[in-house]
């Protein structure tokens, strides 16, 4: 049985485990790229595709006439076709132009999914019975109508909703701690990161908890991607 591919992890290269410098607009793509570097089933698929692909292949940064042609070329094959450094090279070591290109493709894929979603239909209609009624009166009528017509159970709290920055920076920090914990004891991870001016966690219980959670997450990811 073949051993799963493992990229060469150099803890001296902070970009393998510290993602503080990742621009906030690239957090989603950075997280996607980095967590899949530790997903052996995806790596196996990618390496097999590269091995069997036709000679010549695609150009790295093709000149395309439209967003749709860009999407058709790269759909489902992001890392194989234009991030050839994956999985060996950390995301933040990839050339900026390649990262921007990747970001554009991810945006187009996400937009296509959103366009395919069924459009929401109106759930209620406020009747305006006479256009000669003044605007202030229409507003007062609407407020009265809303109080009586809106079901109480549908009001949802939206404050504090997680943003990519609030959601993904902690995940990337946990991934970095998990990677370091594979080459040194967890107690040393705390000292090592702090000594380099990029502290990850303050104490043993904290790092132990996030490393365990990250191990489970990567195991599920690998299983579901296989």
pLDDT in tens, 136-178: 888 888 888 888 877 765 555 555 666 767 889 999 999 999 9
The residues near 174 (Cβ < 8 Å, ≥ 6 apart) are 210, 211, 213, 214
CA 104 to chain centre: 13
d(CA 33, CA 153): 40
- Taking each continuous run of H as one helix and of E as one strand, the counts in the chain are 9, 0
Residue that the structure tokens 């003044």 belong to: 134
pLDDT in tens, 117-139: 566 666 677 787 888 888 888 88
Sign of CA dihedral 8, 11, 12, 13: positive
N-term to C-term CA, the chain: 16
């Amino acid at each position: 049985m073949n051993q799963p591919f493992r990229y060469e992890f150099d803890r001296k290269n902070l970009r393998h485990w510290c993602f503080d410098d990742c621009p906030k607009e690239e957090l989603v793509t950075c997280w996607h790229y980095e967590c899949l570097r530790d997903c052996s089933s995806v790596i196996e698929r990618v390496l097999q595709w590269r091995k069997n692909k036709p000679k010549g292949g695609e150009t790295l940064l093709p000149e395309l006439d439209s967003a749709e042609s860009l999407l058709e070329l790269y759909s489902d094959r992001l890392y194989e076709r234009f991030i050839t450094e994956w999985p060996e090279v950390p995301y933040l070591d990839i050339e900026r132009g390649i990262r921007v290109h990747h970001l554009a493709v991810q945006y187009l894929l996400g937009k296509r999914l959103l366009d395919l979603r069924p459009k929401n239909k109106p759930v209620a209609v406020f009747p305006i019975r006479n256009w000669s009624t003044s605007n202030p009166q229409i507003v007062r009528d609407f407020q009265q109508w809303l109080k009586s017509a809106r079901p109480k159970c549908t009001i949802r709290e939206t404050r504090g909703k997680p943003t990519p920055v609030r959601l993904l920076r902690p995940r990337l920090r946990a991934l970095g701690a998990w990677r370091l914990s594979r080459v040194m004891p967890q107690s040393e991870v705390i000292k090592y990161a702090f000594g380099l001016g990029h502290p990850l966690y303050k104490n043993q219980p904290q790092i132990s908890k996030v490393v365990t959670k990250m191990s489970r997450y990567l195991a599920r990811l690998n299983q579901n991607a296989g």
